[in-house]
A and B are shown apart, each in its own frame.
Chain A
Amino acid sequence: MKNFLLASTFAAATLLSGVTHAADYIIDREGVHAAINFKVQHLGYSWLTGRFNNFNGTFSYEKDKADAAQIKVVIQTASLDSNHSERDKHLKGDDFLDVGKYPTSTFTSTQYKVIDETSGTLTGEFTLHGVTKTISFPVEKIGEGDDPWGGYRAGFSGTTRLKLADYGIDYNLGPASTHVELELHIEGVRQ
């Protein structure tokens, strides 16, 4: 049902925006061939990693018209998981993400610049903790093609580095931990 709604919304949005014949994909959340991970330095001695378990997204991409590629991802911030409940509670609380007040974080692309067949630079509006900023980061196309079950898939990876203070998150974790690296690994199923 959720997927159907998502698909209908996407179809409607596509019709309204007048984009025709673009290959539209829904990020494979059902089979979980997608992950949004983060990592932050701990005291400057190691990496602390975690992820967001719940997010949805759609993208459109066509090999021959890659410049027209678009993506939108909505992350449910309360699904943060660093495998330690006390830390998760703290990170979801008002010292950090304040998920009660800001339940979602979104990324909507505005431009995709092709570098070559497997790489490009994605620019878009990223909203976190109620603050929206324009960010650009490199994206790698991993591959695309038929899957063994009658569908067609395409997958990408992208990594960006954010300064937490830019998004109004100013809890002092120490000088080595002012930035977070966000990794997006997605596989979309063509609709």
Chain B
Amino acid sequence: MLRNSDKSYGWISIIVHWLMAIVILFVFGLGLYMVELTYYDAWYKGSLELHKSLGMALFILLVFRMFWRVINSKPAELAGPKWQKISAGLMHRGLYFVMLLLLVSGYLISTADGAAIVVFDLFNAPALPWNVENQEDIAGEIHEVLSWLLVTMVTVHALAALKHHFINKDSGLTRILKVDTVD
């Protein structure tokens, strides 16, 4: 039930998947919104603090998710042509990779001067002991480009899931919605 099976993902994978999906789309929208706020908007400071805190929370979830992925089996591959199986595998790996780089680049913006990131007033994520010149600018460019890349990839990923559900009528979508225990 909690672990993945041959038929579907387990509850842990399902919950982490959707939790991250919701938070990622929210921080993407928040990111686009907060950079347009002016200095005298009441949420000028708060929006960035929330964005950073959620980003660090996503990082923890991602590390756990990658660990869970490694110690778990995966549901059996869906039927389909070979190119489809290969591109599905590449997309899943690509999503992990881009999420990781996106989170790291965001962290490098805020910690470029050695300041820690305050995560929900609960704990501090310290800065690295070294930084590069104009780190906040370089990391900022990368962060912006990767955020659009990730949302594009997520869109393709979601369309593929819908295609599996409605056109192929297989378990491509349902296996990440509920646990299939029927043998």
Q: Which of B70-78, B85-93, B130-138, B147-155 sits within the interface?
A: B130-138
From DSSP, what is the main secondary structure of chain A's interface residues? loop
Residue A92 CB within 8 A of the other chain: yes
Interface size class of A (residues with CB under 8 A): 10 to 19
Q: Is the CB of B113 within 8 A of A172?
A: no
Minimum CB distance partner of A80 in chain B: B134
Seen from chain B, the residues whose Cβ lies within 8 Å of a Cβ on chain A are: 38-40, 48, 109-113, 115, 134-137, 140
A83: which B residues are within 8 A, CB to CB? 113
Most chain A C-beta atoms within 10 Å of own C-beta, residue among B112, B115, B137:
B137
Interchain CB contact under 8 A, A78 and B113? no
Min distance, Cβ A31 to any Cβ of chain B, angstroms: 20
Total CB contacts across the A-B interface at under 8 A: 36
Q: Chain B residue with minimal CB distance to A89?
A: B136
Q: Which residue of B lies closest to A100 (CB)?
A: B137
Shortest A49–chain B CB gap in Å is: 14
Chain A residues within an 8 Å CB radius of B110: 85-86
Contact A85 B113 (CB under 8 A): yes
Decide: A172 and B136 in contact? CB cutoff 8 A: no
Candidates B40, B111, B113; contact of A88 at CB < 8 Å = B113
Chain A, residues 78-107, CB within 8 Å of chain B (1/0): the string is 100001111011001100000100000000
Query: Nearest chain A CB to B55's CB is how many angstroms away?
Result: 13
A89 in contact with B40 (CB, 8 Å) = no
Given A78-B134, A78-B137, A92-B137; A86-B109 close (CB under 8 Å):
yes
A11–B137 Cα distance when bound, in Å, is 36
Determine if A89 and B140 form an interchain contact, defined as CB atoms under 8 angstroms apart.
yes
